[in-house]
């Protein structure tokens, strides 16, 4: 029971990466930085360079892609649909990369 509650709490906190296709240039930087290898580039008739796609189930919520995307095309979205703020991305990324 306690384990179930803890899992639920963890799940509530977890934000996953979401691509904004209209801002994505298909540059592939997010694919390179994702430690979970859960982003790929898909090609459609509308964008010859491709558009990033995230596997939400595999995303570990590290924020690397959202921070490193030069076009601001990735949002970290909480389970309730709200977006994680950019300054929160920065703090988490610095910690994970050992700067803080
Ligand atoms: S880094 Fe940004 S612009 Fe480049 S492929 Fe990823 S989401 Fe698209
Ligand atoms: S938040 Fe991290 S794990 Fe999730 S898609 Fe972005 S780089 Fe990959």
The answer on pLDDT for 85 being more than 90 is no
For ligand 2, pick from 15, 63, 75, 90 the residue to mutate: most ligand atoms within 8 Å of CB.
63
pTM equals: 0.80
The answer on pLDDT for 14 being more than 60 is yes
Task: Report the alpha-carbon distance of residue 16 to residue 76 in Å, rounded.
Answer: 5
Q: Please tell me the predicted confidence (pLDDT) of residue 3.
A: 46
Distance from the CA of 13 to the center of ligand 1, in angstroms?
24
Contacts of 34 by beta carbon, 8 Å cutoff, 6+ apart:
62, 64, 65
Query: First-to-last CA distance in the chain?
Result: 35
Kindly indicate whether the domain formed by 15-96 is annotated with CATH number 3.30.70.20.
yes
The answer on pLDDT for 10 being more than 60 is no
The answer on pLDDT for 69 being more than 70 is yes
Q: Please tell me the predicted confidence (pLDDT) of residue 91.
A: 74
Tokens of 7: 């899992």
Strands 74-77 and 16-19: antiparallel
Question: Would you list the domain boundaries of the chain?
Answer: 15-96
Q: Given the CA of residue 54, which atom of ligand 2 is nearest to it? A: 5
Q: What is the pLDDT of residues 23-66, one digit of tens each?
A: 999 999 999 999 999 999 999 776 788 999 999 999 999 889 99
Q: Could you write out the three-class secondary structure of 44-65?
A: ECCEEEEEEEECCCCCCCCCHH
For ligand 1, pick from 18, 22, 23, 24 the residue to mutate: most ligand atoms within 8 Å of CB.
24
């Amino acid at each position: 029971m306690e384990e179930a509650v803890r899992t639920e709490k963890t799940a509530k906190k977890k934000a996953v990466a979401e691509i904004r296709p209209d801002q994505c240039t298909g540059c592939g930087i997010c694919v390179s930085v994702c430690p979970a290898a859960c982003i790929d580039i898909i090609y459609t008739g509308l964008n010859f360079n491709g558009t990033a796609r995230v596997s939400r189930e595999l995303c570990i919520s590290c924020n690397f892609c959202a921070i490193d995307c030069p076009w601001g095309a990735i949002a970290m979205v909480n389970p309730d649909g709200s977006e994680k703020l950019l300054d929160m991305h920065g703090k988490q990324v610095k910690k994970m990369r050992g700067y803080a």
